[in-house]
Structure 1
Amino acid sequence: MHDTDGTPSRRFGLPTAITLVMGNIIGGGIFMLPASVAPYGTVSLLAFVVLTVGAIALALVFGRLAGRFPRTGGPYVYAREAFGDFAGFLSAWSYWTMTWVSNAALAVAGVGYLHVLTGSGSKELDLVLALALLWLPALANLAGTRWVGVVQLVSTVLKFLPMLFVAVVGLFFFDPANLGPFTVGGGDWTGGLTASAAILLYSYVGVESAAISAGEVRDPERNVGIASVVGTIGAAVVYLLGTLAVFGTVAHDKLVDSTAPFSDAVDAMFGGHWGGTLIALAAVISITGALNGWTLMSAQMPYAAAQDGLFPAVFGKKRRGVPTAGVIAAAVLASALTIINYTAGVGGVFEILVLITTFSATVPYLLATAAQVYFLLSGQREKIHAGRMTRDLVLALGGFAFSFWLVAGAGYAAVYQGVLFLFAGIIVYVWMVARRPAKQQEQQEQERQATGRESADEPELVG
């Protein structure tokens, strides 16, 4: 395999693909989640379980789709193959928006954890630190897929081990009296389940990471599915055990007001105040790893769309296995948002953009799972027996329902702002399609029709 500049590119192996999924799912949010859901009671642990089942179903769907279309782009590829250019563009545009806005939010969050290590600084110093958190992962990406994989593997291990340490050791200090009530206020438990789930929903975004990078994964038909499921389960173990350990070691009334729940858990287990430094260091490593992975994701989606003439051609060029224009564009846009946040003082605008990421992440999920349902029901399926067909259809519908729940949990403000931002991309689509040569459009239409005829000619083996 060679890049557009003629140099050979390296591909990710299965271990790196797994850490890419885990690293992108587990960002900095895990370090605040226990305190965020504590006000709803221990019913929030049940919400974690429900969300984990939905996330695994979604990961299985992406694995099946990647086996059918083992190309870079993931949800974009599936939506375009099923529903045409416009649906594919909406998927790519929405996901691309989510990645670079999320990167800006991650960088700002990382500065907060750095304060624990270095002490509070000036606004100018905070801005420099935030920009460094954005550009160091970008430089690692520009160095090539090999360095992306190295950074992702090391950062995932370094953040996974201390989290797992707290989770496992916390079981020896677990006190049921700290758990608090199942539902706060003695109300209907379903209300607490829904409310806590709305906070936890975004914590599983990233299950699609291996599918999006399928073109850079060795043996994607096999490894993407394994990486998606194993990475999601690994992240779920960290989430569930870590949250359970914090719930059982920190008194409920203290946990509700905690600003560093994992630090409080370590302090409760061993005494002293060194837990804050330990957890802050783990958080910085976690955020750096997440930024490394999401920077790659922010380049892969426009790369796939550029190959089809739906994004500017410059996004479709690679160097050392990485779409350089996509990496630079994402870093520049995220940097601009970060500068606005620190210098203009318009925190409200930045918060609105962060809300958009919640909605933007779900649009590709809905389109991808709907595409799988379309492929299965329209006869465009592999030579599979009835049992496999039924299983895949149930998983696809479950993934669609989970994605729909993600939209509902995002809240009215996020959906409203997200839809406006999504529709703003329509003019970009019109511009790109209008400028695309007529011959290229005709050739792509012929290829799509040929693919449809080949699928229709396949023998029907499903009873």
Structure 2
Amino acid sequence: MGLTALTIMTASNMMGSGVFMLPSSLAQIGSISIWGWALTFCGVLVLALTFAKTNQISPCQGGVIAHIGLTFGPYIGLQTTLYYWLATWIGNCALLISGVGYLAFFFPILHHPLYAAGTCIAILWLFVALGLQGARVVGYAQIFTGSCMLAVVLGIGVLGWFHFDAHLYMRSYNVTQQNSHHAILSAAAISLWGFLGIESASVSSAQAINPKRNIPLATILGLTLAALSYVSSSNVIMGILPHSQLIDSTSPFADTARTLWGTTAGECVSALAIIACLGAMPGWQILQTEVPRAAAEAGLFPRLFAATNRHGVAYKGLVCTACLMTGVILLTISPNLEQQFRTIIVLAISASLIPYAFAALSLPVTMVAKKLNRGRQFTLYSCLSLLGLAFVTTALLGAGTQPLFWGIILQMVTIPLYLLYVMRQQTPPQSVTPPCLMSDRCAGHRSFIAVSVDPDAVSKE
């Protein structure tokens, strides 16, 4: 994939994971969430700059997530890789739920939890079949679906301002019954979901053309595009739809279009949203296979995650995660689709924040290791890394106790997994006859023979 495909994939992975349902989720807090957006954007921009610099000075397969293990050692590498892997495929479940929520605009039967879950699972396996065709096919698909996404988001985010009602917007400014500080932190934690995927270009470095140049550019361009679309669209919707309608909406963009321009417009927007939302799936599938693939090649994950087909896709890992996603969709079935969406994004955010913190800290460590710890540039990026860590900490605290609880559980799970890794590393290799003892052609291994074999036996020979 080149710069265009990488940029669209980065923006699409972020927007596809959040933009179509976040207006309803943020309506639970109120229009004060605009300050949460601002806080989140500043924090994610800091992370994007550190990720881009890390990839520039120390590129590796698996991007900044795989780089954590190289910087902090195998245990932290195993821990953060497991967290990130969980975040990607759990997040994909939320992506499917969003798409089915818009599909229910055409097929009201999908409001029934069981039918919605069955449709999610069927679509999931269709995209597994597409993902097995390789990165080139995925890149073309992302350009098309990303264009549909921009048409929907920018269409509402630009044209909707002509119908914006400031009084309606301010009427639901803070509906949490809590102080503004707590509401802003809560909004920042939820809106962070919309920026998960900022590392998409970096993680996909093995599938990129000229990664040293294109990945940092795609990261910054994709973030800018997504942020402008988010802030414009989510705020204008809060000034068009009544609060009571918005908090229960499973398709806020389609409902907004229907309110402004009629039923036909709502149907068109819903159709484009379905294509765009579900079209982000292949890009996320690359992330959920490339990171465990790099970990498997480093010995941290089982070898099955490293097996690739003729298109270079880690097909066993893709099928394995699809099975796990099927289980999560079935276990989180809820009569309220928006509630199911919120439950899943809390799980995904819990799993993604720890890798982001370590990825931010790995940059100054890498610069010191490469003797780049001199001058203003080192000072600047060290400050950015600390700011990124502070942002992740703030977001984790703002998300409440549930992400902290799941983060602790996930950390405990990594302890026995690391024990298995150590035991596998300590297993002695099978005794085999050195190949150089079987042939006189390997002159380069004569010193090995002298050390490995009894000298008396050698002299007798």
Could you state the TM-score of these two structures normalised by the residue count of structure 1?
A: 0.83
Match of 1:374 in 2: 365
Question: Is 1:249 equivalent to 2:249 in the alignment?
Answer: no
Question: Is 1:285 equivalent to 2:275 in the alignment?
Answer: yes
Match of 1:176 in 2: 166
SS in 2 for 1:425: helix
Alpha-carbon displacement from aligned partner over 1:150-199 (angstroms, at most 9, x marks no partner)? 12221111111111111111122233233215843797532332232232
* Bigger mean CA offset, 379-388 vs 29-38: 379-388
- Check 1:182–1:132 CA distance in 2 against 1; reply closer, same or farther (3 A cut): closer
Match of 1:264 in 2: 255
Which of 129, 136, 147 in structure 2 is aligned with 1:139?
A: 129
* Counterpart AA for 2:31: T
Cα offset for 1:21? 1.0
How is 1:409-420 mapped onto 2 (pairs within 5 angstroms)?
409-420=398-409
- Check 1:205–1:253 CA distance in 2 against 1; reply closer, same or farther (3 A cut): same
Give distance in 1, aligned partners of 2:340 and 2:244.
33
Match of 2:434 in 1: none
* Bigger mean CA offset, 190-199 vs 204-213: 190-199
* Bigger mean CA offset, 252-261 vs 295-304: 252-261
Percentage identity across paired residues of the two chains: 28
Alpha-carbon displacement from aligned partner over 1:371-399 (angstroms, at most 9, x marks no partner)? 113234xx224658622222211221121
C-alpha contact 1:76 1:305 (8 A) present in aligned 2:
no
Cα offset for 1:302? 0.8
Question: Is 1:105 equivalent to 2:94 in the alignment?
Answer: yes
Give distance in 2, aligned partners of 1:33 and 1:142.
30
C-alpha contact 1:75 1:364 (8 A) present in aligned 2:
no
Give distance in 2, aligned partners of 1:109 and 1:247.
19
Match of 2:354 in 1: 363
Which of 303, 308, 313 in structure 1 is aligned with 2:303?
A: 313
Give distance in 2, aligned partners of 1:216 and 1:222.
14
Give distance in 1, aligned partners of 2:150 and 2:332.
30
Give distance in 2, aligned partners of 1:255 and 1:330.
33
Question: Is 1:154 equivalent to 2:129 in the alignment?
Answer: no
Question: Is 1:235 equivalent to 2:226 in the alignment?
Answer: yes
C-alpha contact 1:309 1:433 (8 A) present in aligned 2:
no
* Bigger mean CA offset, 382-391 vs 148-157: 382-391
Which of 303, 307, 311 in structure 1 is aligned with 2:293?
A: 303
Alpha-carbon displacement from aligned partner over 1:388-434 (angstroms, at most 9, x marks no partner)? 22221122112112222232233212221232133213322221331
How is 1:298-447 mapped onto 2 (pairs within 5 angstroms)?
298-319=288-309, 320-341=311-332, 355-376=346-367, 379-381=368-370, 383=372, 386-436=375-425
* Counterpart AA for 1:81: L
Give distance in 1, aligned partners of 2:46 and 2:129.
34
Alpha-carbon displacement from aligned partner over 1:129-169 (angstroms, at most 9, x marks no partner)? 21222112211211111111112221111111111111111
Cα offset for 1:290? 2.5
SS in 2 for 1:116: coil
- Check 1:138–1:256 CA distance in 2 against 1; reply closer, same or farther (3 A cut): closer
Which of 117, 136, 152 in structure 1 is aligned with 2:106?
A: 117
* Counterpart AA for 2:59: P
Give distance in 2, aligned partners of 1:174 and 1:348.
27
Question: Is 1:15 equivalent to 2:1 in the alignment?
Answer: no
Question: Is 1:213 equivalent to 2:204 in the alignment?
Answer: yes
* Bigger mean CA offset, 319-328 vs 351-360: 351-360
Give distance in 2, aligned partners of 1:179 and 1:358.
28
Cα offset for 1:106? 2.7
Question: Is 1:129 equivalent to 2:116 in the alignment?
Answer: no
Alpha-carbon displacement from aligned partner over 1:69-115 (angstroms, at most 9, x marks no partner)? 22222233221122111111111111111222222333234323222
Cα offset for 1:233? 1.0
SS in 1 for 2:301: coil
Cα offset for 1:258? 4.6
Q: Which ranges in structure 1 are unaligned for 5 or more consecutive residues?
A: 1-11, 441-463
How is 1:28-43 mapped onto 2 (pairs within 5 angstroms)?
29-43=18-32
Give distance in 2, aligned partners of 1:104 and 1:295.
11
Q: How many residues align?
A: 424
* Counterpart AA for 2:214: N
Give distance in 2, aligned partners of 1:413 and 1:330.
24
C-alpha contact 2:81 2:291 (8 A) present in aligned 1:
yes
Cα offset for 1:125? 4.5
SS in 1 for 2:19: helix
Match of 1:75 in 2: 64
- Check 1:96–1:138 CA distance in 2 against 1; reply closer, same or farther (3 A cut): same
Give distance in 1, aligned partners of 2:270 and 2:69.
42
Match of 2:454 in 1: none
Give distance in 2, aligned partners of 1:312 and 1:90.
14
- Check 1:138–1:42 CA distance in 2 against 1; reply closer, same or farther (3 A cut): same
* Counterpart AA for 1:418: G
Cα offset for 1:124? 5.9
Give distance in 2, aligned partners of 1:353 and 1:116.
22
C-alpha contact 1:13 1:217 (8 A) present in aligned 2:
yes
Match of 2:185 in 1: 194
Give distance in 1, aligned partners of 2:298 and 2:378.
30
Give distance in 2, aligned partners of 1:332 and 1:259.
26
Give distance in 2, aligned partners of 1:246 and 1:111.
20
SS in 2 for 1:31: coil
Cα offset for 1:43? 2.4
* Counterpart AA for 1:366: A
Larger Rg: 2
Q: How much is the aligned-residue C-alpha RMSD, in angstroms?
A: 2.9
* Counterpart AA for 2:37: F
Give distance in 2, aligned partners of 1:104 and 1:253.
26
Question: Is 1:88 equivalent to 2:85 in the alignment?
Answer: no
* Counterpart AA for 1:55: V
Give distance in 2, aligned partners of 1:200 and 1:91.
22
* Counterpart AA for 2:50: V
Give distance in 1, aligned partners of 2:295 and 2:186.
36
